Structure formats: structure tokens, C-alpha cells
Structure 1
């Protein structure tokens, strides 16, 4: 289990919240993040871009994927990267989710 805090009040985060619980298959991407694809893609109009950091949960608009960044070094601000929140897990903990269906849900 990985605890995620949705911190942003933007249309993309609100859309994700309306879909919970949801299940995504996560996969490794580029030695930087774990990614999964909600279907259909999330609403992005009206959501600002961001400069991602390690531990950020993002939505990348061109591909329509949610990403758990664990190595955001050298990645700068982009209008295409929408910040949703943050998570608390090590890269080793995230590795347990490679090629696995993961359920994202609200925990009271």
C-alpha cells in the first residue's frame, strides 16, 4: 500500500476523485516513474502545469497517464504535467507494483 495525498484543487484532481475507486495497471517508465492509464483520460482543461519533484503524483496530458515520480531530476516545468498530489514510498516499494493492477481508493 502507498499513501497518496491529493493536494491540488483543479479539474484533473476532481475528475480523478469522482472515479475512485479505480484500478490501473502500473508499469515502469524510463527509470523515473511508475505510470498507469485511466480510461477514459482525465479532464485537463483549466488545470495548470507543474515542475514535478520526486514523490509527486502527476497526470501527463499528451499520453493520458498518471505518474508516480521517483526521479524527476532534470525535468522542468511543463504545461503538460499536471500536479495531482504527493505520495510517500521508496522506489523499492513502488517496484512491487510493476506490471500489476493497483486499486486507487479513498481511505477514511
Structure 2
């Protein structure tokens, strides 16, 4: 599945994976969220409801550009730096390009929507 992300007016695209959590995330779109800095590594935002995590691996090792869901907190996390293996982190997809946009300090307005294919 392809999605469009608009971050502070800049248009990016990403591919969601075919797993239950990613499909559940896609079902919530379109969404407008506020991204906050976290650990100088990722931007996070809380979703309107928690995602399905049935059958998800126990953890994931993210790299820059990964779109993930942190199940313990119920938040979306988009990484702009590589990070270590994290329990409870579920891979949802990956940015096609534009990771540098996430390095902008402070809060960012994010709009997500499915792309008609």
C-alpha cells in the first residue's frame, strides 16, 4: 500500500507492509497528527486508537526511514536515525524518500492518506 505524507507542507511518499498492524493503521487514514521529537532519533505521534498487534514480532531494529508502531505506548514512530533493537516496536512500512524532512527540530504537522493505485 502506498501512502502520502504531508509534513509541514512537504510531500513525501511511503510504502506500508502487508501485515495486520499496517493494515489496521491504513484503516485509520486519513489522519492529521502532530509529530514530536523523541530521543533525537525519531518523530512520534499518538494515534486515535491502538493498532492490532496480533502475530507481530516481539521487537524490531529500526533504521532511518522506517515507519513503526510502538505498542507499549500506542504511538506512531518514524525514524530519522538508525536505532537499536526495541521490544514492542512493530514495522509498518518505510518512507520512499525524504527522511531529512524529519530532522527538522520541534513539532511538525503531519497529514497521512492512502494513495489511490
Q: TM-score, normalized by length of structure 1? A: 0.84
How many residues get paired?
A: 104
Consecutive unaligned residues in structure 2, runs of 5 or more: 1-10
CA, structure 1 residues 100+12, in 2 after alignment: closer, same or farther (shift >3 Å)? same
RMSD: 1.8
Partner of 1:62, secondary structure, is: coil
Alignment correspondent of 2:82: 72
Consecutive unaligned residues in structure 1, runs of 5 or more: none
Q: TM-score, normalized by length of structure 2? A: 0.78
Separation (CA, whole Å) in 2 of partners of 1:97 and 1:40:
26
Separation (CA, whole Å) in 1 of partners of 2:75 and 2:61:
16
Separation (CA, whole Å) in 1 of partners of 2:34 and 2:94:
19
Greater strand content:
2
8 Å Cα contact 1:34-1:98 kept in structure 2: no
Partner of 2:33, secondary structure, is: strand
